[in-house]
Amino acid sequence: MTRILLVDDHPSVMEGTKVMLEKDSSNIVTLCYSGREAVEKVSEALFDIMLIDLNMPEMSGVELTQKVLSILPEATVLIYTGYDIAPHFNMLIEAGVTGFIPKTLTEERLLTAIRCAVRKEAIIPLHLLKELRRAGPGSGLEMSSSSAQKETPAYTDKEEMILSALAEGKSNRQIADQLFVSQRSLEYSLTQIFQKLGVKSRIEAVMKSRQLGILKDSASS
Lowest mean pLDDT among 18-22, 30-34, 62-66: 62-66
- CA dist 195 and 93 (Å) reads 18
User: Region 66-87: what's the mean pLDDT?
Assistant: 84
- CA dist 184 and 10 (Å) reads 15
User: Region 124-140: what's the mean pLDDT?
Assistant: 58
* Cβ(35)–Cβ(56) below 8 Å: yes
pLDDT at 32: 94
pLDDT in tens, 90-112: 777 878 888 898 888 889 999 99
- CA dist 20 and 32 (Å) reads 17
Q: How confident is the model at residue 142 (pLDDT cuts 50, 70, 90)?
A: very low
pLDDT at 52: 93
pLDDT higher than 80, residue 219: no
- CA dist 22 and 84 (Å) reads 26
pLDDT in tens, 172-204: 889 988 888 888 888 888 888 988 888 888 888
> Across-strand partners of 78?
51, 99
Q: How confident is the model at residue 144 (pLDDT cuts 50, 70, 90)?
A: very low
Helices and strands per DSSP (H, E), number in the chain: 11, 5
- CA dist 190 and 32 (Å) reads 26
**72 vs 126, more confident:** 72
pLDDT higher than 50, residue 146: no
Vertex 83, ends 81 and 86: CA angle to 5°? 105
Does the global pTM surpass 0.85? no
pLDDT higher than 50, residue 138: no
